[in-house]
Structure 1
Amino acid sequence: MSATTNGASVSVWMDTAEVPSYPPLPGDIDADVCVIGAGLAGLTTAYLLAREGRSVAVIDALGIGAGETGRTTAHLFPPDEWYVFIEDKFGAANARLVADSYARAIDLVESISSQENIDCEFERLDGYLYALPGNGFKDLEKEYHSATRAGVPVELLPGVSGLAFDTGPAVRYPNQAQFHPLKYLAGLARAIERHGGKIYGGTHAHRVRGDRQQQTVSTDHGDIRARAVVLATHTPFNDRVVMHTKQAGYRTYVVGMRVPRGAVPRILLWDTGDPYYYVRLETPDPALDHDILVVGGADHKTGHDDHPEHRYDEIERWTREHFPQVEAVAYRWSGEVMEPSDGLPYLGRNPMDDDNVYLITGDSGNGMTHCTIGAMLVTDLIAGRDNPWKDLYDPSRKPVHGMADFASEQAKVMARYGEWLTGGDVDSVQEIAAGEGAVVRDGLRKIAVYRDAQGGLHAVSAKCTHLGCAVHWNSAERSWDCPCHASRFDIEGNVLHGPAPEPLEKIDLAPDGAPPPRSPRAGTRGRNAR
């Protein structure tokens, strides 16, 4: 199992893979490229660059796959934005570029798995998008025609065969894929080392600064001087505003249930409903008589549901209704999805830096595909090669498409700052049960308090270190989540997910749970010390 994670839940991937751990950065070093983030985006980029002979240093605050890669459902299938909407927003030529990038991403994962002998359960499968009877058949017809114009060899079917329920009309996308993401990362890490790359765990990057000749990444263990820097941290931490007004963080939930071997066809499946669901099979042990049916969905804005456990129940209920073969629940986990304002990821040069800082973010519901596309694109840019997808995925593009949703999203974020004028979740820490957290008001500030199983209190400032929103408790992952820009922190205030660059301020409580007395000077600065 991975040594570190960014939440309390455990995915089937964490439970069935041995992921190598690496020591922290030993001190100041030099490299051609510093990659920040050891998930799929970071390690794929590092591998491609190291394979070309560049010296690469990878750092991660937690460790290999400890972020969102270990929490995905690890499918490689068509864009969840659908080709019909991509064609409508970006034009037919760009829809063809999207289709090309998706196909080449799957090919790359397959090629690397084969060339590096990575046993990651890579498997080509058919994918099916379906609409229940009476729900959106005209949209599926449009999707079929748009995908066809994009060069995707799709097929329009009356339904998906082999299932226990009538799906209604469906579009079949042949030659899609799935894999075990953490087994793949473990193999990538070993391949990076064979090609001369260096990987450092437990190394938190605080700042990136420099010019076109050299960037310096400041960490808690030393500086890395590099000609180029790749921010593969799911969402960038070095930019306080610009990129975070172009995307929003969502929590997504997954239930893994045992199902008899062979009872469900080996396909990828997702629907057009609201809420929507997506389905795949995992075989954790070929010697056993069962598979794990992996079903995801029930998304919500990060920090907008303090007790989201009911979402697991909703997914389980839907699964039992549609797949009566399922047996016991084996896994429940959640992950983070960054939704871009116009539906396409942000891959390429960081608009806020010189030409040698690069981003891979805005993964939407296709993280494994977008991370791989981003790694290919960024590698080309660093190598000085042209890339046909450069303009399409450019992080500096304006959110022309989806402006209404973009404006609405920003208005909702601004409204969240009004929470500093409201009371706490509870009136006193005595009301917080063991294993739970709550925000308590203390004068002009708010304190985020967690009570552990032994009754001990863990208190931190509720003020997110990104742009100052008040964090909310997430009981499913035992974390403090920011409802504005999706930063997440553990019970000690350590950063689990950006864009927050620093941990929450720790606060010492008296034995009775009362906050320490504050000096008159501190009281006059309450607006900045919340």
Structure 2
Amino acid sequence: MTEKQHVSGSYWLQTAPGGADRPVLEDDLAVDVAVIGAGVAGLSTAWELARAGRSVAVLEAGRVAAGVTGHTTAKVTALHTLIYDKLRRTRGAEGARLYARSQSEAIEHAAGIVAELGVDCDWETRSAYTYVVDPGRADELRAEAAAAKEAGLPASFVTETGLPFPVAGAVRVTGQAQFHPRKYLLALAEDLEARGGRIFEHTTVQGLHEGTPCRVSAGTGATVTARDVVVATHYPVFDRALLFARLSPRRELVVAGRIEGERDPDGMYITPDEGTRSVRTAPLDGDSGDRLLIVTGEHFTPGTGDARERFDRLSAWAGEHFPGVDLTYAWATQDIDPTDTVPMVGPMHPGARHTYVASGFGGWGMSGGMMAGRLLAAQITGEECAWSGLYDPRRLLTAVREAPAFLKTQAEVARHFVGDRLRPTPPVDALPPGEGAVVRVGGERLAVYRDDAGALHAVSARCTHLGCLVGFNAAERAWECPCHGSRFGTDGHVVQGPATKPLEQRDI
């Protein structure tokens, strides 16, 4: 990575810092609904419920819209790479239509919210494209375009795009959108509070008691009593239905920089090739007409490989295809993939009566989170929703639809859980400044980081979620769990769940 490419914060966070912190939950509270997580799914759900007259409390371990949602590429589209041909085969034509309808209506609903609240969030209508450069994959794109059109989207197969390089074919869906996610969600949070909703930041939830009513316990010792509870923490912090076995974490990198307005490719693009490449632009402040080019890709399992090399590859690709762009931003995001492609939104487990979950958006959390907010609000208020069954987390595992991906996911978790404990470790003395590694000290594996001044910092290498060993991400200077995606700072504090407790400190 070049010196200018840093990962200290995303463009969205830097251009919408969010003002003063909201309070920490310190006193017991009683509400109709407790929502855990203040990303797009959690805030969308809370806002819909407050508008329906429910009293709502949102509990966020960090800051509003500063986690995964604050690091997204912020495409608001129903075209999710290559999904409709697969859905047509695995869920039938009706399942594909329900998926397209639910995502499209979520986008329309969000556009209505922007207009209703007068939100200045750079909302722009754009066409979305899934493209390939390999002629051998063109028929795959033709099938996807036909399936998406059959599902009800304004889709077509094209061979010309606004990209500055030729493509073998692309699926184009018109009338999609892109926006500044943090500006949108901060406005949603303010309106939620104006409607009587409560938002608590820096409040980690550590316990959930299901009952009538439910009780949510925070790390501060305070308890929220609620009739209904929604777990919208990206990766569920509670697993009452073995959802962990059906979800896998995936990390992706983002680089961005200024581009002249006349070079704007005028669309949102993604290809499944080359470890995924995604391209879009965003408006920049000022009268120059320049825009921010945003390039995403290089997906990988958290805690594995060298993220710096991946940043270099992504930057090189951006420089090759958009020469002269000065890449001044670099950050990373994390996605959760369900084993059967469809997100899990609804009752948490077969016996759940008042607990709900939203997870597994597979990289499409903007439209998915907006959809989840409407779906969960409908279920909690007793309204009918045509696509409840499609997204139901209690859906059964089927050999045809999900078993191969399920087995692959579990094999990967087992490989890390066992194999990482057998891997030889480097000596502590060989660790250079700014680097970290899992080392064996006195029969225990420790996660050891040497800071730029040369001082060593050691914590247990055992993830506090389910016990896998963490790996070091040198580009972001973080410990990451390859099994379920928990992330920790070099001092062991939780950066991202599902872990809720820090890595234990060790002396070295």
Q: Normalising by the residue count of structure 1, what TM-score does the alignment of the two structures yield?
A: 0.91
Residues 205 and 217 of structure 2 are in contact (CA less than 8 Å); yes or no, is this contact kept in structure 1? yes
Residues 423 and 441 of structure 1 are in contact (CA less than 8 Å); yes or no, is this contact kept in structure 2? no
Cα distance in 1 for residues equivalent to 2:263 and 2:497: 41
Pairing 1:224-303 to 2, within 5 Å after superposition:
224-239=224-239, 242-303=242-303
Cα distance in 2 for residues equivalent to 1:54 and 1:279: 40
Cα distance in 2 for residues equivalent to 1:459 and 1:285: 43
Counterpart in the other structure of 1:95? 96
The one-character-per-residue Cα deviations of 1:299-349 (angstroms, maximum 9, x if unpaired) are 0112222x211112212222222223x421111111111010011100111
Structure 1 unaligned runs (5+)? Answer: 1-6, 515-530
Residue 360 in structure 1 maps to residue 358 in structure 2:
yes
Counterpart in the other structure of 2:385? 387
Cα distance in 2 for residues equivalent to 1:399 and 1:341: 9
CA deviation after TM superposition for structure 1 residue 113, in Å? 1.1
Residues 10 and 331 of structure 2 are in contact (CA less than 8 Å); yes or no, is this contact kept in structure 1? yes
The one-letter code of the counterpart of 2:139 is K
Pairing 1:121-132 to 2, within 5 Å after superposition:
121-132=122-133
Residue 346 in structure 1 maps to residue 344 in structure 2:
yes
Cα distance in 2 for residues equivalent to 1:129 and 1:52: 37
The 1:345/1:59 distance shift into structure 2, 3 A limit, reads same
Cα distance in 1 for residues equivalent to 2:236 and 2:243: 8
CA deviation after TM superposition for structure 1 residue 439, in Å? 1.2
Counterpart in the other structure of 1:155? 156
CA deviation after TM superposition for structure 1 residue 455, in Å? 2.8
Pairing 1:105-144 to 2, within 5 Å after superposition:
105-144=106-145
| Paired residue secondary structure (1:98) | helix
CA deviation after TM superposition for structure 1 residue 240, in Å? 7.1
The one-letter code of the counterpart of 2:116 is Q
Residue 335 in structure 1 maps to residue 355 in structure 2:
no
The 1:458/1:271 distance shift into structure 2, 3 A limit, reads same
Residue 177 in structure 1 maps to residue 177 in structure 2:
yes
The one-character-per-residue Cα deviations of 1:445-469 (angstroms, maximum 9, x if unpaired) are 2111222223333221111111111
The 1:93/1:328 distance shift into structure 2, 3 A limit, reads same
The one-letter code of the counterpart of 1:356 is H
Cα distance in 1 for residues equivalent to 2:7 and 2:61: 17
CA deviation after TM superposition for structure 1 residue 276, in Å? 2.1
CA deviation after TM superposition for structure 1 residue 424, in Å? 5.4
Counterpart in the other structure of 2:191? 191
CA deviation after TM superposition for structure 1 residue 372, in Å? 0.9
Counterpart in the other structure of 1:479? 478
Cα distance in 2 for residues equivalent to 1:238 and 1:281: 36
Cα distance in 2 for residues equivalent to 1:425 and 1:66: 34
Q: Which of residues 368, 372, 375 is equivalent to 2:373?
A: 375
Cα distance in 2 for residues equivalent to 1:425 and 1:296: 32
Identity %: 37
The one-character-per-residue Cα deviations of 1:370-393 (angstroms, maximum 9, x if unpaired) are 111111110001001121111100
Residues 135 and 169 of structure 2 are in contact (CA less than 8 Å); yes or no, is this contact kept in structure 1? no
The one-character-per-residue Cα deviations of 1:10-33 (angstroms, maximum 9, x if unpaired) are 211112113142010131111111
Structure 2 unaligned runs (5+)? Answer: 1-5
Pairing 1:189-228 to 2, within 5 Å after superposition:
189-211=189-211, 213-221=212-220, 222-228=222-228
Cα distance in 1 for residues equivalent to 2:160 and 2:230: 43
Counterpart in the other structure of 1:312? 311
| Paired residue secondary structure (1:88) | helix
Cα distance in 2 for residues equivalent to 1:133 and 1:304: 28
The 1:424/1:25 distance shift into structure 2, 3 A limit, reads farther
CA deviation after TM superposition for structure 1 residue 352, in Å? 6.3
Pairing 1:519-530 to 2, within 5 Å after superposition:
none
Cα distance in 2 for residues equivalent to 1:125 and 1:148: 18
Tell me whether 484-493 or 332-341 shows the greater mean CA deviation: 484-493
For these two proteins, the number of residue pairs brought into alignment is 498
The 1:16/1:420 distance shift into structure 2, 3 A limit, reads closer
Tell me whether 496-505 or 98-107 shows the greater mean CA deviation: 496-505
The one-letter code of the counterpart of 1:339 is D
| Paired residue secondary structure (1:262) | helix
CA deviation after TM superposition for structure 1 residue 214, in Å? 0.9
CA deviation after TM superposition for structure 1 residue 36, in Å? 0.7
Residues 240 and 466 of structure 1 are in contact (CA less than 8 Å); yes or no, is this contact kept in structure 2? no
Cα distance in 1 for residues equivalent to 2:256 and 2:202: 30
Counterpart in the other structure of 2:450? 451
Counterpart in the other structure of 1:442? 441
Cα distance in 2 for residues equivalent to 1:413 and 1:469: 8
CA deviation after TM superposition for structure 1 residue 178, in Å? 0.3
CA RMSD, aligned part only? 1.7
List, as ranges, runs of 4+ consecutive aligned residues in structure 1 with deviation greater than 4 Å.
Answer: none
CA deviation after TM superposition for structure 1 residue 418, in Å? 2.0
Q: Normalising by the residue count of structure 2, what TM-score does the alignment of the two structures yield?
A: 0.94
Cα distance in 2 for residues equivalent to 1:410 and 1:479: 24
Residues 204 and 500 of structure 2 are in contact (CA less than 8 Å); yes or no, is this contact kept in structure 1? no
